[in-house]
Structure 1
Amino acid sequence: MYLEHVNLVVNDVEQALNFYQAAFPHWRVRSEGSGSWHGKPRNWLHFGDDHHYIAFSDHGEGSNRELSGDSVGLAHFAYVVQSVDRIVARLTQAGYPVDKQGAQHPHRKNVYFIDPAGFEVEFVEYLSDIPAERNSD
């Protein structure tokens, strides 16, 4: 079992795509189109690989939840990567600053970014193949 996709409603599909292309240069636009959602026009795009993707739809209104607050909603989602340093280099080169560094840990490195739609995205690199070490406090 694995997570196939997440569906993010954003204000601007191209801005979202630019961020994720910088993070995942090996991914591609799998499909895209337009239509309506509950009577409102929208453009949509699927960006990923053969097994996982992010769906973007541009019919969003307003802003994302306040991440420093305690309101209900998505707090963040995370991707396991081979190198946090390479992700940071690609995203900062593309103009996206690190939002916060993860806590010091002997068995993992992690960093958080805020994407253009206001979603917090964590990137984590595990330094151990032992699950108990990876998931320890």
Structure 2
Amino acid sequence: MYLEHVNLVVSDINAMLKFYRAAFPHWHIRDQGHGEWHGKPRKWLHFGDDYHYIALSDHGEGNNRELAGHSVGFAHFAYVTNNLEAVIKRLEDAGFAIAKPGAEEPFRKNIYFVDPAGFEVEFVEYLSDIPAERNLNREALQRYAV
């Protein structure tokens, strides 16, 4: 079993496409159309590859949850990459700034960006192919070292 898609309600699909095209240059618009959601017209599209995509709908109103706050809601989602520096460069070249650095871990590197709709997106590069190492954090390493 694997996650096929995430469905994000946004106000500006084009701004979202600029961000996700920079992050995933091999992705494309798989499908798109117009419809209605509970009485409000919307444009929607699926942006991804043959196995995974992000569904975007443009009928959003208001602001996303405050990421630094404690409100219930979506915190972030993460993508694994084989070249974190290349992802960072593409996003920065497209005008997006790093939102916060990742933790310093011995077996992975990560970084966080916030997309134009206010969703926090983490990008992770693993430095080990051993799951037990990939999933460790500094605190766990210290416990094992004792």
TM bracket, shorter-chain basis: over 0.9
| SS of residue matched to 1:88 | helix
- In 2, the alpha carbon distance for the partners of 1:82 and 1:60 equals 33
2:8 corresponds to 1:8: yes
- Letter of the structure 2 residue corresponding to residue 19 of structure 1: F
The answer to which structure has the higher helix fraction is 2
- Letter of the structure 1 residue corresponding to residue 28 of structure 2: R
Q: Which TM-score applies when normalising by structure 2?
A: 0.93
Q: Which TM-score applies when normalising by structure 1?
A: 0.99
- In 1, the alpha carbon distance for the partners of 2:53 and 2:10 equals 15
Question: Offset at 1:55?
Answer: 0.2
Which of structures 1 and 2 has the bigger CA Rg?
A: 2
Question: Offset at 1:45?
Answer: 0.7
| SS of residue matched to 2:22 | helix
- In 2, the alpha carbon distance for the partners of 1:70 and 1:109 equals 26
Q: Which residue of 1 aligns with 2:54?
A: 54
- In 2, the alpha carbon distance for the partners of 1:126 and 1:57 equals 32
| SS of residue matched to 2:98 | coil
Question: Offset at 1:88?
Answer: 0.3
- In 1, the alpha carbon distance for the partners of 2:33 and 2:15 equals 17
Question: Offset at 1:131?
Answer: 0.7
| SS of residue matched to 1:111 | strand
Gaps of 5+ in 2: 138-146
Question: Offset at 1:14?
Answer: 0.6
Question: Offset at 1:59?
Answer: 0.4
| SS of residue matched to 2:88 | helix
Question: Offset at 1:107?
Answer: 0.2
Question: Offset at 1:83?
Answer: 0.8
Question: Offset at 1:31?
Answer: 0.6
Amino-acid identity (%): 69
- Letter of the structure 2 residue corresponding to residue 23 of structure 1: A
Q: What are the Cα deviations for residues 52-84 of structure 1, in whole angstroms up to 9, with x where unaligned?
A: 000000000000000000100000000000111
